[in-house]
Amino acid sequence: MKNIAPKLEEKQYEENFAELHPPFTSNSAVAEANRCLYCYDSPCMKACPTHIDISTFIKKIATGNVKGAAKTILDSNWVALTCAKACPVDVLCEGACVYNERNEPPIQIGRLQRYAMDRYFENGMPQLFIPAEKNGRSVGIVGAGPAGLSCAAELALKGYNVTIYEAKKIPGGLDTWGIAPYKMRQADSLNEVRLVESLGVKINTGVTVGKEIAASELLKSHDAMFIGIGLGSSARLEVPGEKLDGVVEALDFIEKVTTRKWRSVDVGRRVAVIGAGNTAIDAATEAKRLGADQVMMIYRRSEREMPAYRYEFELAKNDGIIFHFLTSPKRLLGTKHVEAIECISMRLGQPGKDGRRRPEEVPGSEFQVPVDMVIVSVGQNLDKSFLAQLPGVTIENGAVKVDPETMRTGNPKIYAGGDCISGGQEVVNAAAEGKRAARAIDASMRS
């Protein structure tokens, strides 16, 4: 890459990527836990897609029973440390806390959950669950992200032989390879992988189903299959110049940053991120924290329509990211390396099929912005070629079609959950869906 931003001192990187929400001390955790009103109707529990019994685990923290708190949390959610650190709590559990109605700060549920889960892993993962005796049935799971791991853990507890097939050498899905390092560390995700393995789940890494092993083989060798493949490769920008040096896909860039080998990740001095979803925001803030002088985000709709969460947007603004709304890239310019983006101003027209007003070009409004690096973050595509190998599995609106109650696809032997059925949501949704599928698989095997 040309015009690389100078590398920083190691200490500076650590400061830039320090945790957004530092952990509670024991005293502060107990004090916060004692604020909980233990509401009779637990709106926080309803707001959590995995329905963790939040007031009960908080009560346990308040009484010093931290191991019991971890048990209550894990009863509902197998990736609870990741969720504690990375969930958008202000729109989920904490957003539902009754303290909000009184204009008082909600209970810090995420930090309390993290307190219990940190202690659990620091104390060497004491055994809290004993899997049922083996029932002779086996389930094959494709993908070791939060959806696959949750499904696997739940089935292993019920006595199934569970094998996960994971394409990457290191499992955990986007919990390991996607979530911003100022939210959580890879080690947190790998602890959760170890927990799932401790229940007897086998994870075959470096195995891409559909390539190294045929999907039909898995269908033959297992009584049921769960598909938790997430979303596949990044979508292309489809403008001239996309192949120039210095133009990278957001997920490739983010994956490198999650390794925390800061100095090995090159970032341009002037960076443009195309897109305005949560992934785009992560890419922008990470580029800035790696030392880019200037990071701008280019989005063809207005601030109102941007898909990123409000708090992610605020985080980016605090990091000094510049937002170019109602702006669309037309061409990436440069001889070998990207040197500028030709943009055009947009205006919003009539609503499209999705109800959102469609952006239209403003004729003659082209302008150029000099850049050294472009990070493309305009969505991900489902791996249709793999899914095509699964008889009865259908795709609707870019996602695998399932019965939302059972997570069963059109093939009675195949279930699915996580980003591949939603088109991209949160870790907590994937965790909930993996678990729901496991219960449905168990129910169908018993019937």
Ligand X SMILES: Cc1cc2nc3c(=O)[nH]c(=O)nc-3n(C[C@H](O)[C@H](O)[C@H](O)COP(=O)(O)OP(=O)(O)OC[C@H]3O[C@@H](n4cnc5c(N)ncnc54)[C@H](O)[C@@H]3O)c2cc1C
**Residues forming the site for ligand X (CB under 6 A):** 86-87, 142-148, 165-168, 173-175, 178-179, 183, 208-210, 228-230, 254, 278-279, 282, 383, 386, 418-420, 425-428, 430
What are the C-alpha distances in Å from 422 to residues 23, 180, 234, 397, 401?
31, 21, 16, 9, 9
- Least distance between ligand X and beta carbon 304 (Å): 22
Comparison of 140 and 359: residue with beta carbon closer to ligand X: 140
| Other beta carbons less than 10 A from residue 295's beta carbon | 27
What backbone phi and psi angles, to 5 degrees, belong to 4? -75, 140
- Least distance between ligand X and beta carbon 251 (Å): 6
- Least distance between ligand X and beta carbon 151 (Å): 9
- Least distance between ligand X and beta carbon 214 (Å): 11
Comparison of 192 and 419: residue with beta carbon closer to ligand X: 419
Comparison of 60 and 436: residue with beta carbon closer to ligand X: 436
Single-letter residue type at 162: V
What are the C-alpha distances in Å from 444 to residues 148, 223, 294, 346, 406?
18, 11, 55, 52, 10
What are the C-alpha distances in Å from 134 to residues 17, 196, 219, 413?
44, 16, 20, 20
- Least distance between ligand X and beta carbon 212 (Å): 8
- Least distance between ligand X and beta carbon 103 (Å): 27
Comparison of 87 and 340: residue with beta carbon closer to ligand X: 87
- Least distance between ligand X and beta carbon 290 (Å): 15
Whether residue 381 contacts residue 395, with contact meaning beta carbons closer than 8 Å, is answered with: no
* Cα–Cα dist 127/76, whole Å: 16
Comparison of 87 and 109: residue with beta carbon closer to ligand X: 87
Whether residue 327 contacts residue 300, with contact meaning beta carbons closer than 8 Å, is answered with: yes
Residue 65 region by backbone torsions, left for phi larger than 0, else alpha for psi between -120 and 50, else beta? beta
* Structure token pair of residue 423: 């088109």
- Least distance between ligand X and beta carbon 377 (Å): 8
Comparison of 183 and 269: residue with beta carbon closer to ligand X: 183
Whether residue 157 contacts residue 131, with contact meaning beta carbons closer than 8 Å, is answered with: yes
What backbone phi and psi angles, to 5 degrees, belong to 314? -60, -40
* Structure token pair of residue 146: 């939060």
Alpha carbon 59 to its chain's center:
29
- Least distance between ligand X and beta carbon 255 (Å): 9
Comparison of 326 and 373: residue with beta carbon closer to ligand X: 373
* Structure token pair of residue 236: 């292309």
Comparison of 28 and 259: residue with beta carbon closer to ligand X: 259
- Least distance between ligand X and beta carbon 283 (Å): 7
Comparison of 175 and 339: residue with beta carbon closer to ligand X: 175
Comparison of 83 and 344: residue with beta carbon closer to ligand X: 83
Buried b / exposed e along 87-97 (16+ C-beta atoms within 10 A): bbbbebbbebb
- Least distance between ligand X and beta carbon 280 (Å): 9
Comparison of 138 and 425: residue with beta carbon closer to ligand X: 425
